[in-house]
Amino acid sequence: MQEEEKHLVQPEKPSAQEPSSGTKKKKNKGKSFLETVREIDEKERQREEELEEKRQQILEERRKKEKEAYEKKIREERIELMRLKQGVITESEIIHEEKEEKPRLSVWKKITNFLYHSKWWLGITVFLVGVFGYMIVDYILQVRPDMIVMVLTDDANLQLSSKALSEYFEQYIEDYNEDGKVTVDIYPIPVNDDTSVSDYYTGNMTKLSSQFQLADSIMVITDAVADEVVLADETMVNLEELFPENKNVRGTGFYLRNTDFTEQIGSPELVLDRDICVSLRKVVRTFDSEEEMQENYDIAYGVLEKMMEDLPYERKTRTLEPAAEAAEDTEGGLQ
């Protein structure tokens, strides 16, 4: 009993597995999430660096091998070329003539390539073709008259009678240009000594000068003022030498006053001034050939001969003051 009581009273020894309260140790803390991520990134970076280094080594080795192969090829070609030059061999299996292969282009690509490289020349060519084409079409379609008559007198009645004059002269002419019709053009260029309207005067002088540089218009209808402007004694044919028997001819003019010319053109009420006449230009060298002017002169001369036959001398009277009428009868010898 006593042993049992001692046994019960005796304190229990602490267990070896249970730590004492005074000797408990703190547990170690685990790694944080950020530290884990950093470690992973670092390992990944190291792995990529190792791969890049290996790749660079492979590339370097490849470049080195290519360089060595190229240098070897050059050395072999040099040796082979020397052997060819020395005549040791006639043909080489190493050195071959390389022919550059031209790229094959489609039809559209060829066209666009040509247009691009030739655009300036094409532009100039198109412009010239257009100009010459217009000139050719204009020349073909242009109505070329068989004869041209210049009306230089400033007589208002004649200046406004272009159609009647054209029809009158057409009866004496044939289809010389062989275009299937007879055409006479009338060029009214009123010439006077009034310079007050400078633009009008200058314009008419320019037209007159242009026509006298050409060989188209041989026959002219003039008056005393126009004769002075065009220097008729120098530029017109002396008709008095060619037709000395004609009473209407004086100097360079065939005068229309004492004829039935106004009746012939369908205006019998008109009374022409006494100095209005028909003249012919002399054949000279102009911008056109002298031969061309001679052909036009022959046509105009034939027309004038027919006119003289149809317009005999007929005494015409006008209602004038007695003194003026007497002076008109004696001046110039025209009755």
Predicted confidence (pLDDT) per residue in 282-323, tens digit: 999 888 888 999 999 999 999 999 999 999 988 766 544 444
- Average of pLDDT values for 201-229? 89
Return the percentage of the chain with pLDDT > 70, whole number.
77
**Residue-level pLDDT at 288:** 82
**Residue-level pLDDT at 239:** 95
**Residue-level pLDDT at 101:** 62
Q: Where are the beta strands (DSSP E) in 146-183?
A: 147-151
147 has a pLDDT exceeding 90: yes
- Average of pLDDT values for 109-123? 82
Q: May I ask the CATH class of domain 145-318?
A: alpha beta
Tokens for 190, please give them.
């009123």
15 has a pLDDT exceeding 50: no
- Average of pLDDT values for 135-154? 82
pLDDT in tens, 234-278: 999 999 999 999 999 999 999 998 999 999 998 888 888 889 999
Residue 328 confidence class, pLDDT cut points 50, 70, 90: very low
How far is Cα 205 from Cα 218, in angstroms, rounded to an integer? 17
pLDDT in tens, 38-85: 888 888 889 999 999 999 999 999 999 998 888 888 888 888 788 777
Please spell the DSSP secondary structure of 234-282, one letter per residue. HHB--HHHH-TT-TTEETTEEE-TTSSHHHHTT-TT----TT-EEEEB-
Q: Which of 235, 224, 321, 214 is closest to 275 using CA atoms? A: 224
**Residue-level pLDDT at 276:** 93
The residue ranking higher by pLDDT, 325 or 49, is 49
224, 272, 146, 227 alpha-carbon torsion, rounded to 10°: 0
